[in-house]
Chains A and B, each alone.
Chain A
Amino acid sequence: MTIEIKENTAIQQAVDEAIKRYGIKQDELIPILNDVNRAIGFLPGEALDEISKQLKLPKSQLFSVASFYRMLSTKPRGRHVIQFCENAPCHVAGGRQVWQALVDEIHLNAEETSADGKWSLVTTSCLGICGVGPVMIIDDDIFGNVDPKTIPDILSRYH
């Protein structure tokens, strides 16, 4: 029970902060959702309810936006989100082998979250840093020139 209340306060706080930052404007919906997604890790139903109330927007519209964009998630995500670039330039630079090493190490497939809630593995569109491919991002850290051998070392930096 206490946990639930605590979570709800965190959600409320994240929503309030985002709306305070961008103002009660319907065209700021995507920046607001982005901020809340970043603060909580995903967009829980309670957050959508609260944003809907404050921006006076139907929840259906919020859900349609939240489910459209790749960077917004309506499902819980792990503590650390690994975004892996799967586009041609990274693919030909050895991305396939790195992906395999990643999958072998954390036992997840694309768009999955580990049972212990530590990792989520997602693919991302081109990040435009093709010069250092293969590229992956963990939370906000960018890793370029990734090699299958360096995967365990990179992952071990996160707890």
Chain B
Amino acid sequence: MKYYRSHVLVCVDPECLKKGAHEVMDALQDELVAQGLIDEVQVLETSRIGDCAHGPELMVYPEGIHYANLTPNDIPYLVEEHFLKGRIATKFIDEQKKSTDEELSAPTAKEVRVVLRNCGVIDPDNIEDYIAEDGYQALGKVLTEDTPEQVIDIVLRSGLRGRGGAGFPTGKKWQFCRASAETPKYIICNADEGDPGAFMNRRVLEGDPHSVLEGMIIGAYAIGCNQGYIYCRAEYPIAVRTLNIAIKQARAMGLLGKNILGSGFDFDIEVRMGAGAFVCGEETALMSSIEGRRGEPRPRPPFPAVKGLFMKPSNINNVETFSNIPQIILRGPEWYASMGTEKSKGTKTFALAGDVKHTGLIEVPFGLTLREIVYDVGGGIKDDKDFKAIQTGGPMGGCLPKEYLDLSMDYEELAKAGSIMGSGGLVVMDEGTCMVDIARFFMEFIQDESCGKCTPCRVGTKRMLEILERICDGKGQPDDIDTLEMLCDQIRQDSLCGLGQGAPNPVVSTLKHFRDEYEAHIVEKRCPAKVCKALIRYEIIDGTCTGCTVCARNCPVSAISGERRQTHVIDPDVCIRCGICMQVCNFNAIVIQ
């Protein structure tokens, strides 16, 4: 490959394109040719590097400088300053941003990047960039030096566990599938990342697709199969496009197809797109969907390793799991196992969201405490409020209160505390969050996404949602908590797949840790966090109110009355609790009771 002293990555996301990213790129190419720099500086297209609000924008590597708000007219100056004179053109640097990448800020001291190491650094559409970062070297080593059994042994020794959520040892899974006598076998990559707010896998697929392909090829060699599928959700069109480009390039180089690297091993991969169904992230539902049917789960056993896709032995792993494999082979299982805790090895990516200062993707070794993640990596709670709870594991995960802040992040510890690792969503909630409202919110999502095949999940979640809505509306009944607990037990025990079995988790964990809030809603008809509209009242403080009339003029339902320069009054029967009066009041005279 050709060597360049600088790489310029221009964001070509739809929003930047609309603002003229291609015009900027053309101007840049022309100017580099004019200045005779075109052989030294490479211009590439990339996906999101900022928030596109200040587009067109670009990154210059190796310096890692982020320029924003560019027009084609700015380019001659930029090229002269940066590439000719070697000075940073400060006037195009977006001052508001601390990091160059909103999803992937510069790693803090506690972070270790294994899965995300190439994201935002290499050009995902160019296989040579990946190869330059030691890409496909692990595949070469495996095919020439190791037997399939040795590969499985390496993965077993690394302690790698499935990153899709359940945490089953990857090496064991491969072993089971290898042991199945029937052929053909299939290897599947689960890229149906559906948890709201979790986008770790999208980032890897769009930023480093070859690491996933390489992991899959190695896995296929280990279990002895010749056909792979990547099931990617339709909500990720850019990931599907990137994957297809990567597969085409890998085929052209002989890394996919017949006789890979002259080893006699044949393997190819096909991308399948979903059509919008959350439950398809469940492995048996996913297989039904690849087969061209409704994405409904099947009972297990038989397990996929015996009868999976097309009723043949199949192995299914998550994007992040596959992406770890090449590094484990190259740097050795001991290196991987040196990170993390006794039973959870390596690193894990998380999408940190909610009321925390720095949201976005992070990758940390297992074993960090929640406190380290929230305060050291996440920078603490927004507006320096108090921490109330953290929800781990996506919509089927649990909420953990303050007392668990020193819990170490690992599969077993989380399970003991009543939550799950899940795929890696972390939602931080501050003191202003109502836990009953949160439980209702997640139950609404699960109820909506239930595929309807089995009764406990289809009907049970509906009943639970009705009760939670009733409680939030101030119509909770004394036996509601008991009914909820009974439903939780039954849905968990009797549902067919992980979605149903995990469905009660948000309610179980909030009932366990925040029972007093449920009781306040039901018995006292009070929402302690002052969130549930039916249980709050807006009031104007006598003495603080100056009678400026701004609240009365802004009230959409004319619920506020009062004379000029006199304290105003809100009629609670007319008030719709929209909160506009509180926002417009200049004297902080309106409070929620």
Contacts and interface: CB of A to CB of B under 8 A. Distances in A.
Interface string A104-142: 000000000000000000001111111110000000111
B218 to A, nearest CB: 25
Nearest to A57: B292
Interface stretch (B123-131, B270-278, B366-374, B536-544): B270-278
Contacts of B61: none
Nearest to A62: B292
A71 B275 contact: yes
Given A31-B273, A128-B199, A142 B102 contact: no
Nearest to A89: B197
A36 B167 CA distance: 38
Nearest to B53: A145
Interface in A72-118: 72, 87-89, 92
Interface string B186-201: 0000000111111100
A130 B279 CA distance: 20
A7 to B, nearest CB: 23
A134 to B, nearest CB: 13
A64 B52 contact: no
A29 B294 CA distance: 11
B412 interface: no
A126 B292 contact: no
Contact of A129 (B193, B199, B293): B199
Interface string A46-75: 000000000000000100110011111000
B276 A71 contact: yes
B214 interface: no
B interface SS class: loop
A69 B273 contact: no
Given A127-B235, A128-B199, A28 B194 contact: no
B289 interface: yes
Chain A interface size, under 10 / 10 to 19 / 20 to 34 / 35 or more = 35 or more
Nearest to B51: A132
Nearest to A128: B199
B52 A30 contact: no
Nearest to B194: A125
Given A31-B272, A34-B275, A128 B193 contact: yes
Contacts of B291: 26-27
B441 interface: yes
A44 interface: no
Nearest to A132: B51
A132 B236 CA distance: 15
B202 interface: yes
A147 to B, nearest CB: 11
B256 to A, nearest CB: 20
Contacts of A143: 15
Given A29-B292, A142-B14, A130 B276 contact: no
B196 A89 contact: yes
B103 interface: yes
Contact of B14 (A72, A88, A141): A141
Contacts of B234: 34, 71
A124 B273 contact: no
Given A130-B197, A131-B102, A72 B275 contact: yes
A131 B295 contact: no
Nearest to B354: A92
B197 A28 contact: no
A23 to B, nearest CB: 12
B276 A27 contact: no
Given A127-B235, A131-B360, A70 B276 contact: yes
Contacts of A61: 293
B33 to A, nearest CB: 32
B294 A65 contact: yes
A126 B194 contact: yes
Contacts of A30: 272-275, 289, 292
A33 interface: yes
Contacts of B273: 30-31, 34
A31 B293 CA distance: 11
B568 to A, nearest CB: 25
B427 interface: yes
A89 B427 CA distance: 9
Which of A33, A129, A142, A143 gathers the greatest number of chain B CB atoms within 10 Å?
Answer: A129
Contacts of B290: 27
Given A27-B292, A34-B234, A61-B293, A69 B274 contact: yes
Given A28-B292, A65-B292, A128 B235 contact: yes
Interface string B216-237: 0000000000000000001111
Nearest to B359: A131
B293 A128 contact: no
Contact of B196 (A26, A88, A132): A88
Contacts of B202: 128
B177 interface: no
Nearest to B200: A128
A126 B293 contact: no
A144 B196 contact: no
Interface in B32-55: 48, 51-53
Contacts of B292: 26-30, 65
Contacts of A145: 51-53
A34 B292 CA distance: 11
A99 B183 CA distance: 51
A68 B295 contact: yes
B353 A144 contact: no
A70 B195 CA distance: 16
Contact of B51 (A126, A140, A144): A144
Nearest to A64: B294
Given A29-B292, A71-B234, A126-B197, 13 more contacts: A31-B273, A68-B295, A68-B296, A69-B277, A70-B276, A70-B277, A124-B235, A125-B196, A128-B202, A128-B235, A130-B197, A131-B359, A132-B52
Interface of A: 26-31, 33-34, 61, 64-65, 68-72, 87-89, 92, 124-132, 140-145
17 contacts: A33-B275, A68-B294, A68-B296, A69-B275, A69-B295, A72-B276, A87-B197, A126-B195, A127-B235, A128-B198, A130-B351, A132-B51, A141-B14, A142-B15, A144-B51, A144-B52, A145-B53
Interface of B: 13-15, 48, 51-53, 102-103, 193-199, 202, 234-237, 272-278, 289-296, 310, 351, 353-354, 359-360, 427, 441, 445, 449, 451
In order of increasing CB-CB distance, the 8 nearest A-B pairs are: A70-B276, A29-B292, A69-B275, A87-B196, A128-B199, A71-B276, A126-B196, A89-B197
